[in-house]
Amino acid sequence: MRYSPKWMPLSQKVRAGFEAAGERLFLFLTAMYLFYCFSGITTFGLTFPAEFEATLLWFMTVVALARLVLIGPRRREPWLGLALAAVCYLSHRTGSYRHLYYLAVMTLGFIGIDYRKILWTYLATVGSLLLATVLAALAGGIANIVYYRDGFRSSLGICYPTDLSAISLFALLALWAAWKKVPTPVMLAISLGYVALTAFVTRSRNSLVCGALLALLILAYWIGERQTSKGCLTRLVDWLLTLALPICAGAIILLVFVYSKNTPLAEKLNALLSDRLRLSLQAYRDHGLTAFGTPFDMMGNGYSVFPPSDYYFVDSSYMLILLRHGWVMLLELGAAWVYLTRRAIANGHRRLAMALGLIAFHSMLEHHFMEIGYNILLAMPLASIATQPEPKPLQRGQYTKRYIASGIVLALLCALMIFLPGFVTRLRTVFEAKGWHNGGQNAAPVLLIALCAVWTAIALSRSLYRIADRLVERRRPQLVPVLALGVCLCLGVGGWLWSGGVVAQAQRDYAPNVKEDAAALECVLYSAKGGVYSDVAPDVYRRQYPGIRPTILPTEELARLDGATVLAMAAPEYNAFFQNDFRFAQISGIHGIYTNDPDAAEALAAAGFSVTDYYSTKVSVDLGCEAALNGLTVDEHGVLLDGPLQSLNQGPYMDLFAGEYEVRFDLFLPERAGEDADKVCTLRVNTYWGENTLEVQPVYRGDFDADGRLTATLRFSAGYARATEFAVVAEDEPLYISGLTVQKVGK
């Protein structure tokens, strides 16, 4: 006999209550883990307690096991989950990779939970964090790393452009699989926007192909929605989706085998795939193939535009799983993926099946398949996928009403986009005025403000859609969306008024800087043919000079523009500008102007400013920090090197772009007694934490003047020199370093 919830016996009600509470708690813990994972691929630089990850894993394990007890041993899913977890544990014992523990626990914890709830948890966490990260990067709250490789590539707050493409694709696929009510044409438009992102911002070829395939799949799904019968083509697609992972894994392994034969065709394939085949083959030869894998570290290009000295990265998920986690793990994951895909197709969830197939294809040439922060579907083979009834074709009037409502919302959002440059410009000014930038300790308020803005925009869009949908049907709007719309508008107005107060205070604080920059700004505003922008407190400068334009583009993104003139900080160097033939002029002690507008450059030169085609700011090294780093003492003469056991051989770890440089050492020798030919010290320029030496120069007693003073200059060439050190190795007598400066003197 079936019991309705109302007349359910007390014991069953208690059991159902515990099951619901356990499900919600596990999803909440999952969101915490996703937040932890996502923060690790951003430039926020958030720090967590040392035991955070282990403690979270313990709580998730307890809740997952409690849910297994409630499910009971009579169902097969717990036994399948335990078998999958056992393989993860055996692989973990070999490599000690904690994410395998999380995979095992989440696979068990997701048993019986509706897959759409899991995807919505993923979207609510990763999706909102992704939008907030991009907004924070556009507003200058965190670093936006810009690379130059056959054109500009941007990461917009993520650690690397391809990672931005990948996390955006996974979030987009989760959105498509979970949000059944979104009109297919709207989803098609979003996918085309993703194609534009990968084509012009991240320039990720693999993600570009996957974005184009997603658009085609959505188009095919849209056409299939109107058909009532399945043809041979549909059944063929179903089998291709089911076997997508085995086919793709086999294909990349075969390509690596072909490359090992050193044929001309293999070399062309390797070049086309950005050296992925060579690196995979090298990892195979270094570590071999075992049942449960061989642990090894990888060194990639993330978080810095400066490439590592020993790049070693297996950028294929299947080769990485095969080598690092073993062939047993690859077989297990392949079987679980096929099983999940078949269940999705059999129960009528074709969007989910298409998402699974596209992720399998994407993972051929990307390494994110095993990262749950990207691929939450990996932990969902035993999630609940209820049978979905065949959708009834919508009537023409229903289609029309849905499209009208969507069109109204899109039109309103397009109108809001007109105000986006002004909003981002205001936000950039607030972050700078408050000192909330560059991540780290300042990350929390930046993230909170960005999340509030994103959540407000999402709530506003949803409220507008629901109100428009009711109005199109000639019904009165419901109270909840109307109230939500009112709250969103109040938050927007309140935030704008608060930020206006911050800008007013910043206007008073920045008054001396504005006055110092006045001559140069008036010069370029009068002469420039193109746009003039300020990356320094832009709302402050725009109030003084209305000719300065608002923009959503952060500092180096403006290098994409032709005929642009940008006021920016004089330090650090923004190399992207020089990659697009900008010129540089330092106009004050802390500010400089980048421009590729010939008229603006000529006007600056005519006004007496030094305009160069390279970065010409002189940088003084903090000797106090250097002394602390090297364990040296400082007095009124400078940093003391007292004998051969003391030297300045660490730091300042400067990252230098390609060009000609001069480093100047101001030295003081207290005692002039001795022969002129006696060596006093050796000067060195090292890179990559002392691995490479660019220049060496000995210094002798005769080089010093009668007062024991010497300014020694080393000229050296650098090409993307990371962690540059300026070392002073003393000989047998005391020596002081009273000054240390470095300056770029040529391209």
Q: What is the pLDDT of residues 314-367, one digit of tens each?
A: 889 999 999 999 999 999 999 999 999 999 999 988 899 999 999 999 999 999
Q: Per-residue pLDDT for 703 more than 80? A: yes
The number of domains in the chain is 5
Comparing CA positions, the residue from 71, 77, 73, 178 lying closest to residue 122 is 178
Residue 645 lies in a domain: yes
**pLDDT of 405:** 61
Environment class of 417 (CB within 10 Å of its CB; exposed 0-12, middle 13-18, buried 19+)? exposed
**pLDDT of 3:** 47
**pLDDT of 2:** 45
Residue 586 lies in a domain: yes
Task: Indicate whether 353 and 276 sit together in one domain.
Answer: yes
pLDDT band at 78 (very low <50, low <70, confident <90, very high): confident
**pLDDT of 179:** 84
In tens, the pLDDT along 255-291 reads: 999 998 888 888 888 888 888 899 999 999 999 898 8
Residues 665-678 have a mean pLDDT of 83
From 464, 498, 532, the end of a domain falls on 498
pLDDT band at 305 (very low <50, low <70, confident <90, very high): confident
**pLDDT of 269:** 87
Residue 184 lies in a domain: no
Q: Per-residue pLDDT for 230 more than 70? A: no
More confident residue, 222 or 123: 123
Residue 455 lies in a domain: yes
Residue 10 lies in a domain: no
More confident residue, 266 or 742: 742
pLDDT band at 189 (very low <50, low <70, confident <90, very high): confident
Q: What is the mean pLDDT of the chain?
A: 88
**pLDDT of 717:** 92
Residues 655-662 have a mean pLDDT of 92
Task: Indicate whether 468 and 593 sit together in one domain.
Answer: no
Residues 176-184 have a mean pLDDT of 81
Q: Per-residue pLDDT for 486 more than 60? A: yes
Task: Indicate whether 370 and 247 sit together in one domain.
Answer: yes
Q: What percent of the chain has pLDDT over 70?
A: 93
DSSP 707: T
Parallel/antiparallel/unpaired status of strands 652-656 and 152-154: unpaired
What DSSP element (H or E) covers 662? strand 659-668
- Give me the torsion for CA of 488, 489, 495, 501, rounded to 10°: -170
DSSP 274: T
3-class secondary-structure state, position 22: helix
pLDDT band at 227 (very low <50, low <70, confident <90, very high): low
Task: Indicate whether 571 and 605 sit together in one domain.
Answer: yes
418 C-beta neighbours (distance < 10 Å), count: 8
From 475, 498, 521, the end of a domain falls on 498
pLDDT band at 1 (very low <50, low <70, confident <90, very high): very low
Parallel/antiparallel/unpaired status of strands 532-534 and 565-569: parallel
Task: Indicate whether 628 and 733 sit together in one domain.
Answer: yes
Tokens of 401: 């009403």
Residues 382-406 have a mean pLDDT of 66
Parallel/antiparallel/unpaired status of strands 734-746 and 659-668: antiparallel
pLDDT band at 71 (very low <50, low <70, confident <90, very high): confident
SS3 content of the chain, % helix, strand, coil (to 5): 55, 15, 30
| Contacts (Cβ under 8 Å, ≥6 apart) of 345 | 238, 241, 242, 353
Task: Indicate whether 609 and 626 sit together in one domain.
Answer: no
Environment class of 163 (CB within 10 Å of its CB; exposed 0-12, middle 13-18, buried 19+)? buried
In tens, the pLDDT along 51-61 reads: 898 899 999 99
Residues 39-48 have a mean pLDDT of 91
Q: Per-residue pLDDT for 400 more than 70? A: no
Q: What percent of the chain has pLDDT over 90?
A: 55
The CA distances from residue 598 to 520, 535, 588, 612, in Å, are 15, 20, 21, 12
Range of the domain at 404: 396-498
Q: Is the Cβ–Cβ distance between 81 and 382 less than 8 Å?
A: yes
Comparing CA positions, the residue from 559, 516, 560, 514 lying closest to residue 538 is 514
Residue 139 lies in a domain: no
Residue 120 lies in a domain: no
Task: Indicate whether 627 and 605 sit together in one domain.
Answer: no
Q: CA angle 344-324-62, nearest 5°?
A: 60
From 383, 404, 435, the end of a domain falls on 383
* Residue 147 dihedral angles phi and psi, to the nearest 5°: -105, 160
**pLDDT of 406:** 65
Q: Describe the crossing of helices 161-178 and 350-362 by its angle, rounded to 10 degrees.
A: 160
Task: Indicate whether 413 and 445 sit together in one domain.
Answer: yes
Task: Indicate whether 249 and 375 sit together in one domain.
Answer: yes
Task: Indicate whether 547 and 672 sit together in one domain.
Answer: no
Residue 639 lies in a domain: yes
pLDDT band at 724 (very low <50, low <70, confident <90, very high): very high
Residues 638-643 have a mean pLDDT of 88
**pLDDT of 408:** 67
Residues 690-710 have a mean pLDDT of 90
Tokens of 471: 């109005």
Task: Indicate whether 316 and 451 sit together in one domain.
Answer: no
Parallel/antiparallel/unpaired status of strands 618-620 and 633-635: unpaired
Q: CA angle 506-511-512, nearest 5°?
A: 130
Task: Indicate whether 553 and 626 sit together in one domain.
Answer: no
